[in-house]
A and B are shown apart, each in its own frame.
Chain A
Amino acid sequence: EIVMTQSPATLSVSPGERATLSCRASQSISSDLAWYQHKPGQAPRLLIYGASTRATGIPARFSGSGSGTEFTLTISSLQSEDFAVYYCQQYNNWPPWTFGQGTKVEIK
């Protein structure tokens, strides 16, 4: 099973600032990585797939990068609606599809 490790667990950021979230895979997953945003009481939302491709309707301030075992999600200028928990997920080697433990982006 591929283990996904996200860091940090919590990121405190002021609105308008840049946020950088990391995700590491326990073995190479090529670019088979997705990022999701999850707010309390809501359905998770797909942000990024293929490590760097934005999903339909996702603002350009969200960007993904990386391949192999190291990945990054960057939010260039945080808006109030971006405060949420973010998960990475690998779909290279399954089952199981595995998620990171999440990074909570909170208001500083």
Chain B
Amino acid sequence: EVQLVESGGGLVQPGGSLRLSCAASGFTFSSYAMHWVRQAPGKGLEYVSSISFDGTSTYYADSVKGRFTISRDNSKHTLFLQMASLRVEDMAVYYCARDRSYGYEWIDYWGQGTLVTVSS
């Protein structure tokens, strides 16, 4: 069974940093591209970032480019999102998601999400 379990969310002040993790199990992690998607309170789903199966290619939404860094440790089956210079508008539930393949297609599995609150 595919499982994606996010952690690392919490309360952070504007301008602060946070590192999210996503522990993957039930599939060959190193064979799939991965994504982060977020949902701000009362809003819809918003794409954040993607990383290739081997970690050599990364992509970011314009809203987080230069502030967020996606990475992965295939030996530990874990996806990361390092978030810096956090803004109030970054407050959201952050979902880890698996692409359906090593390439970039649709998302076939999602985690339950971790809440990031940005407030002073």
> Using a CB–CB distance below 8 Å, which chain A residues touch chain B?
32, 34, 36, 38, 42-46, 49, 55, 85, 87, 89, 91, 94-102
Q: Which residues of B contact A32 (CB under 8 A)?
A: 105
User: Which residues in window 23-81 of B have CB below 8 A to A?
Assistant: 35, 37, 44-47, 50, 59-62
For A96, give the chain B residue with the smallest CB separation.
Answer: B47
The dominant DSSP class at the B interface is strand
Whether the Cβ atoms of A43 and B95 lie closer than 8 Å is yes
> Using a CB–CB distance below 8 Å, which chain B residues touch chain A?
4, 35, 37, 44-47, 50, 59-62, 95, 100, 104-113
- For the complex with contacts A43-B112, A45-B110, A102-B45, 19 further pairs of A-B residues with Cβ separation under 8 Å are A34-B106, A34-B107, A36-B45, A38-B45, A43-B109, A43-B110, A46-B106, A46-B108, A49-B100, A49-B106, A49-B108, A89-B45, A91-B104, A95-B47, A95-B61, A96-B62, A97-B47, A99-B45, A100-B44
Q: List 26 A-B contacts (CB under 8 A).
A: A32-B105, A34-B106, A36-B45, A36-B107, A42-B112, A43-B110, A43-B112, A44-B107, A45-B110, A46-B107, A46-B108, A46-B109, A49-B100, A49-B108, A85-B44, A87-B44, A91-B105, A94-B50, A94-B59, A95-B50, A95-B61, A96-B62, A97-B35, A99-B44, A99-B45, A99-B46
Alpha-carbon distance A29/B110, docked complex (angstroms): 23
